[in-house]
Structure 1
Amino acid sequence: MLRSVAFAIAMTPCAAMAAQPVCITKAEATSLISYALPQAINGTAKRCAPSLPANSFLRTQGTALANRYAAQKGQYWVKAKPAFMKAMSAQNDGSSNMMAGLPDETLRQLADVFVEGFVSQRIATKSCKQLDLAIDLLSPLPPENTAGLIALTLDAAGSADPKLGKISLCKD
């Protein structure tokens, strides 16, 4: 279950972009996840709202949680950016070169739009109840703790199934 959350929420910003396997450090993964959490929560809420009851966590408190996490996300960008750029470079289509030349604020906006849109399109609605519960359970944590748990889950899942995605955590 947490593996679903990890995959759907954490790695979506990069997994879809990577054509070849790429390795990011645990610190980069944690920063990228921390940075992307507000958009991932918003995208999950948009996708799942029609299939969740009116009193579900995402429908009643999802926006507040995303806003709370968004208030801190700027501090994660410096370490999140290298992970985002690694994923872009794995595409081998020149997009990373184009993106490397963009102003930082523009690159952040592109990452934000991508994460929210990708999540809202890719989550299987049959997993919405589980995702709602997982996000509710994780909601008391600060973003870095939530991101750390997701990165840990990805690391464990990657050890069990190295083909979890095109993005993997670098082995120490």
Structure 2
Amino acid sequence: MRLHSLIAGTLAAASLLAGNVAHAQQSACLTEEELNSVITFTLPVAMESVMKACQPSLSPSGWFATKGPSLVQSYAARKQSAWPSARGALMKLGKGDEKMGQMVSRLPDSALQPFAEGIVGQIVADGVKPDQCVAIERAVRLLSPLPPENTAELISFVIVMAEKPKPGAAPAKSKLPICAAKS
């Protein structure tokens, strides 16, 4: 499971909260800051889903089993502060279906947040293959000393850099609707 593919799938599914993904990706893009807020909001549920999916493939005394829950807690501490921007980013992506977008925009956060988390959790769980669990656990262990805000920002940075066209090359058709960086 590539991180880029996971985040792309997460954003696509989350944008279903507010309408048509294909149209939304053509008409809206996320700034790096908006992407970062979506990642910050979804990181705790994504981590929990990875740990649950990998539990049968990893040692019960391994890093995920012993240190993972406290890492999820540290990520969760920033989740609520990221929600307003993450919600705005998801609504921005969902502008393709006006009727659905209006309906979803009227939902209270108490209904919308668990729905978004459920979608993200399922996408992540479905994307994890048992033979990837050792590598995922190692990557998370290596990232774990970083403060949660740095982890989310690093993931955003990697995604933006992966989406950036090479000099002289035509921009590739992106799976992620990332706005072009301002010069």
Please tell me the TM-score bracket, short chain as reference.
Answer: 0.7 to 0.9
Determine whether 1:169 maps to 2:172.
Answer: no
For residue 168 of structure 2, what is the aligned residue in structure 1?
none
Q: CA deviation at 1:114?
A: 1.6
**Which protein has the larger Cα radius of gyration, Structure 1 or Structure 2?**
2
Mapping of residues 1-172 of structure 1, within 5 Å: 4-8=2-6, 10-16=7-13, 17=16, 18-20=21-23, 21=25, 22-90=28-96, 92=97, 94-160=99-165, 162-165=172-175, 167-171=176-180, 172=182
C-alpha spacing 1:95/1:120, structure 2 compared with 1 (3 Å): farther
Q: Distance in 1 between matches of 2:85 and 2:137?
A: 28
Q: CA deviation at 1:96?
A: 2.5
Listed one character per residue, the Cα deviations across residues 50-86 of structure 1 (whole Å, up to 9, x for unaligned) are: 1222233222222221112112211111111111222
Q: Distance in 1 between matches of 2:52 and 2:173?
A: 28
Q: Is the 8 A contact 1:32 1:83 kept in 2?
A: yes
Aligned-partner residue type, residue 130 of structure 1: A
Q: Give the SS at the match of 1:135.
A: helix
Unaligned runs of 5+ in 1: none
Aligned-partner residue type, residue 178 of structure 2: L
C-alpha spacing 1:28/1:112, structure 2 compared with 1 (3 Å): same
Aligned-residue identity in percent: 33
Q: CA deviation at 1:103?
A: 0.8
Q: Distance in 2 between matches of 1:86 and 1:37?
A: 20
Unaligned runs of 5+ in 2: 166-170
Listed one character per residue, the Cα deviations across residues 84-107 of structure 1 (whole Å, up to 9, x for unaligned) are: 2223334x3843322111012221
Aligned-partner residue type, residue 14 of structure 1: L
Q: Distance in 1 between matches of 2:93 and 2:61?
A: 37
C-alpha spacing 1:162/1:97, structure 2 compared with 1 (3 Å): farther
Q: Distance in 2 between matches of 1:19 and 1:13?
A: 14
TM-score in terms of structure 1 length: 0.84
Q: Distance in 2 between matches of 1:52 and 1:140?
A: 21
Q: Is the 8 A contact 1:85 1:96 kept in 2?
A: yes
TM-score in terms of structure 2 length: 0.80
How many residue pairs get matched?
A: 167
